[in-house]
Amino acid sequence: VTQTVTAPAHVAPPGRMARFRDSALEASRGTPGRMRLVSAGLVILCLLLGLAGEQAFRATRGSLDRAAANAAQVVRLGELQISLVSADADATNAFLVGGLEPAEQRAHYDAAAQRAAELVAQAARAQPADVQALAALNTAIQAYTGQIELARANNRQGLPVGAQYLRNASSGLRTDALPLLESLTAANQQRVQTEFTHARQAWIALTGVGLLALAGLVLASIWLARRTHRYLNLPLVGAGVVILVTLIAGAVGLLTLGGSVGSVRDGPYTDVQALSEARVEAFDAKANESLTLISRGSGAAFEKAWQVSSATTTRLVEPYPVIKTQWAEYVSAHRAIRALDDSGRWDRAVAAATSRADNSANAKFDAFDDSTSRALTQSAAATDRDLQSAGAWLSLATWLAVAAGLLASLLSWWGLAQRLEEYR
């Protein structure tokens, strides 16, 4: 059956590559040659199936981890925005009262500004793709705190220009820093959704690849049956069973996981998004309350901004009865402050807005702050926990997929080796 190919005498002796090619050509001649090719193809096909399974499980694991990390980044950015806005509310309120700012308020401002700086560093470490935007944000924050220090230095000397520095700082924060934060939050929310989609679609890739492997095996069996007139090759059937089991178990596992991811997305993660946004909007409304008063009669734009933020918060906290009530109480306290200011009693409006007594607007806002903060922490922890538990089996599945690929390729090689034996 084998033929020898001899090189013509006048040609120089063939190199190693040429010799390899020649022997490969020789090995693929005729039916046994083809069998060797089919055997090699099936072995590689099964190994690739193992690798594809490993890839699918590992990528899903990665998607879940990244979804959790991105969700944490969304929460972190929300807290960062709140730190900045509440630092600004502190600074604005201090100027509203007149005189030196109370030491407690100054300490609160300092803590909020420090927290913002820490969160920028943490956010930059958590997501390299955010670094450029965070660097721009850092610049804006530095400009803001610098202007606030100038405002303080001037205020300390009793110079009215201090109030102008405060106004510039506050408007700079709103035109430079907050749009950056909104862009960052939107990008990270988008990333969470992308990873959720990937995790939910992983079964499609695995099923597609598995069906291709199965088709390869079936076609090879048919070809082999026609050539050898033997219809049952047990090792090849075994390989088929291994592939089928891998395919079904993997697809079912990933489909179930997709369902769990869907419940996280529609459950705790929806709460994370709603509460985080509600808090950001609420703190912005609070800062606008002070800015309306400090503008003294020309703050209509700030009150309008308050109404927009307040409406958004009201809509977002609708599903949470306790928080909803707390927010409604703050809203009515704010209305009372506006009523005082609008009827010309600015001094009393300021007193009401800056009071820290029980039942004051500040006390009501603090109650809202406390419960939203607690609820947000719980939802963020639940998101993380549920995503981790949904993918707990993926590490084991990764190794099993590799083992299944190896087993199927061994069986395929064995099955074709039995037939090749018959040609010796």
Partner 1 sequence: MSAFRAVAATFTAFTVAALGACRSSGYDATPLPKASASATASPSASAATPAVTCANAVQSYTPPSAVPTNLSGYPTVDKIRTRGRLIVGGSATSMLLAARNPISGQIEGFDVDLARQVAKAIFGDPDKIERRVVTTADRIPVLQDGSVDLVISAMTMTCDRWQQVAFSAEYYRAGQKVLVPLGSKATSLDDLGGQRVCAPGGSTSLDKLKTFPDVKFVTAATHTGCLVKFQQGEADAITGDDTVLAGLAAQDPYAKVVGDAFTSEPYGIGVPAGSKDLVRYVNAVLAKTISDGAWKASYNHWLAPALGPAPTPPTPVYGR
Can you give the binding site for partner 1, defined by CB under 8 A?
A: 34, 38, 41, 44-45, 48-49, 51-52, 55-56, 59, 62, 66, 95, 97-99, 127, 129-133, 136, 154-155, 158-165, 168, 171, 175, 179-180, 182-184, 187-188, 191, 198, 205, 208-209, 212-213, 215-216, 219-220, 222-223, 226, 295-298, 344, 346
Kindly tell me which of 130 and 384 has the beta carbon lying closer to partner 1: 130
d(CA 269, CA 319): 14
Report which secondary-structure segment, H or E, holds 119: helix 103-126
Q: Which lies closer to partner 1 via its Cβ, residue 44 or residue 322?
A: 44
Nearest-approach distance from CB 324 to partner 1, in angstroms: 32
Task: Kindly state the smallest distance separating residue 318's Cβ from partner 1, in Å.
Answer: 29
Other Cβ atoms less than 10 A from the Cβ of 32: the count is: 18
SS3 68: helix
Q: How far, in Å, CA of 53 to CA of 210, rounded?
A: 8
418: number of CA atoms within 13 Å, CB side?
14
Residue 240 C-beta: closest distance to partner 1, Å: 14
Sequence-separated (6 or more) residues with CB below 8 Å from residue 383? 68, 71, 264, 268, 269, 272
CB 37 → partner 1: shortest distance, Å?
8
Least Cβ distance, residue 12 to partner 1 (angstroms)? 34
Whichever of 86 and 147 has its CB closer to partner 1, that residue is 147
As a residue count, the chain comes to: 424
Nearer to partner 1, 95 or 109 (CB): 95
Q: Is there a contact between 213 and 49 (Cβ–Cβ < 8 Å)?
A: yes
Name the residue nearer to partner 1 (CB basis): 296 or 374: 296
Q: Measured from the CB of residue 185, what is the shortest distance to partner 1 in angstroms?
A: 10
- CB contact at 8 A, 195 and 64: yes
CB of 261 to partner 1, least distance (A): 17
Dihedral sign computed on CA atoms, order 236, 237, 238, 242: positive
How far from chain centre, in Å, is Cα 283? Answer: 24
- Of 236 and 317, nearer to partner 1 (C-beta) is 236
Phi-psi region of 102 (alpha: psi -120 to 50; beta: other; left: phi over 0): beta
